[in-house]
Structure 1
Amino acid sequence: MFPEFEIVRRQRPVTIAVESSTFSRPAANAAIEAACDGPVSLSLTSGGDVLTGSYDGRRVWLEVTTGSRRTSHASRRHGRVGRGVGRGVGRFALTLTGTMLTALTYEGGAWVARARVDLTEVGIEPRDESWLAGLTAGHEGSAEDVRSGAFGQLGLRDIRVVTYADGSPFREEDGTLLLTATSAGPGFFPTAHTSVWALDPVTYDLVHRGALYFRRDGLVYGDHATHLVRDGDEWLVTTSTWGGFKAPDKTDPGKPWSPVGVTIGRSRADLTRGEHVLDSTPLALPTDGLMSVGVWDPHVLRRDDEWLVGYVSARKYFDFHTVLASGPSLDALSLRAARTDRTATEGTTLVPLGGTVVVGASDGRDNPRRVRARYPIFDLDLNEVAELRSAYVTNLPWPTLIPVGDEWLHVAFDGTPHGGRLPGYGTHGEVVISRSV
Structure 2
Amino acid sequence: MSLLTTRFEVVARHRPVDLVLPGELPTAPYLAVTGEGPLTIAGPDVEITAGYDGHAWLTVDTGGRRPTRHRSRRHGRAKARVDALGLALTGTQATVLTREADRWVARGRVDLEGRVDTRDEDWLAGVGTSGGTAGAFGQLGLRDLRLVTRADGSPYRLGRVLLLTATSAGPGFFATAHTSVWSLDPDTLEIAHRGDLFFRRPDKPGVYGDHATHLVRDDEAGRWLVATSGWGDFDKRRPVQVLLASSTADLSTGAHVLDTEVLALPTDGLTSVAVWDPHLVRTDDGWLVGYVSASRYFRFHPVLAGGPSLDELRLLGADPARRACEGTTLHRDPASGAWQVLASDRSGEYPVYDLALSPVGRLSAPYPSNIPWPTVVPVDGGWLMVAFNGSGYGGRLTGYGTHGDVVIMHSTAG
TM range (shorter): over 0.9
2:209 corresponds to: 222
Q: For 2:280 and 2:332, how far apart are their aligned partners in 1?
A: 12
| Aligned equivalent of 2:389 | 414
1:169 to 2:155 alignment: yes
Matched, 1:28 2:29: yes
Name 1:13's counterpart in structure 2: 16
**Contact residue 50 and residue 66 of structure 1 kept, 8 A:** yes
SS at match of 1:131: helix
State the shift of 1:68 in Å.
3.8
- Find out whether 1:79 has 2:107 as its counterpart: no
Deviation, 1:291, is 1.2
2:343 alignment counterpart: 361
2:119 to 101, 116, 127: 127
Confirm or deny: 8 A CA contact 1:412 1:433 kept in the other structure.
yes
Which 5+ residue runs of structure 1 have no aligned equivalent?
A: 140-145, 248-256, 365-371
CA offset at residue 81 of structure 1? Answer: 1.6
Q: 2:248 aligns with which of 268, 284, 287?
A: 268
Q: Distance in 2 between matches of 1:134 and 1:156?
A: 29
Shift of residue 405 of structure 1? Answer: 2.4
Shift in Å, 1:305: 2.8
Tell me by how many angstroms 1:394 deviates.
Answer: 0.3
Partner of 1:200: 185
SS at match of 1:244: coil
**Alignment equivalent of 2:332, drawn from 348, 352, 355:** 352
Partner Cα separation in structure 1 for residue 297 and residue 101 of structure 2: 36
Q: How well do the aligned residues superpose, as a CA RMSD in angstroms?
A: 0.9
Partners of 1:53 and 1:352 lie apart in 2 by: 51
Cα offset for 1:108?
Answer: 2.7
**Alignment pair present for 1:59 and 2:55:** yes
Opposite residue 171 of structure 2, the aligned amino acid is: P
5 Å matches for 1:226-241? Answer: 226-232=213-219, 233-241=222-230
List per-residue Cα deviations over 1:52-75 (Å, max 9, x = no partner).
11111x110110001142111111
* 3-state secondary structure, aligned to 2:113: helix
Percent sequence identity is 55
Q: Deviations over 1:360-394 (max 9, x none)?
A: 00011xxxxxxx21001111111111110111010
How far does the alpha carbon of each residue in 1:396-428 deviate from its partner, in whole angstroms, 9 at most, with x for none? 001000111211000000000000001111000
Partner SS state of residue 178, structure 1 = strand
Tell me the CA shift for residue 147 of structure 1: 1.7
Give, in angstroms, the shift of residue 306 of structure 1.
1.4
Contact 1:163 1:170 in 2 (8 A): yes
CA offsets, 1:90-144, max 9 Å, x none? 11100000111000001033110001011014x11101101100000012xxxxx
The list of structure 1 runs, each at least 4 consecutive aligned residues, that deviate by more than 3 angstroms after superposition, is none
CA–CA separation in structure 2 for the residues paired with 1:352 and 1:32: 44
Match of 1:113 among 81, 106, 109: 106
Task: Check the 8 A contact 1:294/1:314 in 2, yes or no.
Answer: yes
Tell me what 1:136 maps to.
128
Partner-residue secondary structure (3-state), 1:102: strand
Aligned to 1:185: 170
> Residues of 1 paired with 2:303 and 2:380: CA distance?
30
Q: Assess if the C-alpha contact under 8 Å between 1:6 and 1:435 holds in 2.
A: yes
Give unpaired runs (5+ residues) of structure 2.
none
CA offsets 1:271-299 (integer angstroms, 9 cap, x no match)? 01100000001000000111100000000
Provide the C-alpha distance between the structure 2 equivalents of 1:106 and 1:414, rounded to a whole number of angstroms.
23
Conserved? CA contact 1:244–1:258, under 8 Å: no
The 3-state SS of whatever aligns with 1:422 is coil
For residue 250 of structure 1, what is the aligned residue in structure 2?
Answer: none
State the alpha-carbon separation in 2 of the partners of residues 98 and 135 from structure 1: 14
Length-normalised TM-score, structure 2: 0.96
Q: Residue 287 of structure 2 aligns with which residue?
A: 307
Deviations 1:277-327 (A, max 9, x none): 000010000001111000000000011031000000000000000000000
Size of the aligned set, in residue pairs, is 402
2:38 alignment partner, SS class: strand
1:259 Cα deviation from its structure 2 partner: 1.9
Structure 2 match to 1:48: 45
